[in-house]
Each structure stands twice: as structure tokens, then as C-alpha cells.
Amino acid sequence: MLRTIANTLASAAVAAVVALTASGASAGPTLDRIISEKKLVVGVAPWNKFVLLNPKTSQYEGLIVDDIRNLEAMTGIKVELVNTTWSGLVAGLQAGKWDVIMSGLGATPERATAVAFGEAFGYLSSTAMVRADSPVRTFADLDKEGNVLSVVSGTAAQQYAQRTFKKAKVTPLSDTGAAVLEVMQGRSTAYIGDSVSNELRAQERPTELRNIKFASDQTEWTSMNHAVRYADLDLLVFLDTYVRSMKLRGWYRTLAEKWNLPPELAAGPR
């Protein structure tokens, strides 16, 4: 029985690949337009050192932006970045406001009901950021009645916090700035976010903020992925070809070093 199911799944996977490649140079309407117009519209959300608009230059910068510019240089396809909120990324993709999400959105089964995810190009774990003078030191200190944990709506951190913390109240907010401000002003006990961003904020404000890392059985690793509509799986094949090639060349390790990010960002959990 199990062998029959496995064979059926394998046949379905092969059929899907054949369906995408059998027509040779022919592509779906979205990828066909992108190739013919040499233009790709990308939805992004603010994320320090990954995707952020520099107010001094009015230019986007960060690891993901460098990767996008590299894609432009290698393919000749011009990328237009459209800024939105984390909670608006999927809705905007479904509404056709952009062709692909390139903000490092984590692939989860819940999100996969709405969008198709590509191959991971980076990895993050969940941590908690508290005030430097907070008595909170551990995971157990956080999960208590009366504690408030701020998260950004629509992120993997929100899903992780709502699944994991049984006693503390989880409060979703629209963006990272608002969520962190709740902690700094004492309205939230902690901000639950990704390991890289929280560590960077704690390093930038050591007298105000502190990052708490969880034990391996308490944290949760998430991947960083591009996402498209299910109708555009051929576009995903195109993007995955790029990501796999860059991983083999050590490109993401190079970007992590450039932006002073931990090597496990490219390597993932060990």
C-alpha cells in the first residue's frame, strides 16, 4: 500500500515537471510577459539588512536587494520593487500587484495554502527581545500569565508565538517598529522575532535591549523563500534555478559576510 502511494506521488511529481517543461521555450502568461518585457515586479516589506529603503539615497539596500540586483545582472530582467507591509505581501501577490514576493517570507504549511514557495536561500530561528533591565531571562519567564508578547502580523514569528506560548498574550502589530516600541515603552514584555534581526537590534542598543536565545527544543527554524501564485509555477522554476546556482557558488555566504550576518543564515540548522 505504502509503495503504491509513493509511486503515485512520484508519478504526479514527474507529471508536474513534464507539464512545465514539455512546451520547450513556451511559458505561462506571467513568465512570458516578464521575459518579453524584461521586467519583474517584486513585493517587499521593510527588514533591516535585508530589504530597507535608505532615506539618504532613496535606494533599497540589504542582502535580498543585492541578490535581486545580481539576478538583474545575470538575466537582463529589470526588477521593480514595491514596498508594502509583511501582512500585505500575500494579499498583494494574489491581487496581482506584484509577480513574486522576495522579502524572505518563510515557507509554512499554512501559507502554502495561498502561495507557492521556492527553494530556501536562508534560514532563521526565533528569539525574544526584551528591555535590557527586564527580569526575563528564559523561555519559562516569558510564558506566564500577564505577559504580553508583541509580534509582527503575518510573519512566521507570529505563528510560532501563537503555537508555542500558552499563558502569555500574543499581540500582533502592523510592523516591526511598532512591535519593538511596545517593548521599549514597557507595554510588551518581549518582542518575538527572528534571530538575526533581534541580535542586530540588541547590538545597536545594548543599554536598552537584550536578545534571548531559546534552547533547541524551544525555538523554531524558518526558511527564507521567494513565493509566487500557484498559476505561475513556471516562474518558480525560473527563480529556483537561480537560487540553486547561487547556493552552489557560495553566493549567500558571501552576502552574509558582507552584511555582517551570522554564517548559519546561509548554512541553516546543524
From first to last of its 270 residues, the chain has per-residue pLDDT tens of 434 434 443 444 334 444 444 444 567 999 999 999 999 999 999 998 999 999 999 999 999 999 999 999 999 999 999 999 988 999 999 999 999 999 999 898 989 999 999 999 999 999 999 999 999 999 999 999 999 999 999 888 998 999 999 999 999 998 888 999 999 999 999 999 998 889 889 999 999 999 999 988 899 998 999 999 999 999 999 999 999 999 999 999 999 999 999 888 998 887
Q: Give the span between the Cα atoms of 34 and 50, in whole angstroms.
A: 24
| pLDDT in the model for residue 26 | 64
Q: Give the span between the Cα atoms of 101 and 9, in whole angstroms.
A: 28
CA atoms within 13 A on the CB side of 231: 9
The answer to whether the Cα torsion of 80, 81, 82, 86 is positive or negative is positive
| pLDDT in the model for residue 210 | 96
| pLDDT in the model for residue 253 | 96
| pLDDT in the model for residue 178 | 93
pTM of the model: 0.75
| pLDDT in the model for residue 5 | 37
Q: What is the CA angle 99-105-106, rounded to 5?
A: 135
| pLDDT in the model for residue 187 | 96
Cell of residue 4, nine digits: 503504491
Residue type, 241: T
**Are residues 211 and 199 in contact, defined by beta-carbon separation less than 8 angstroms?**
yes
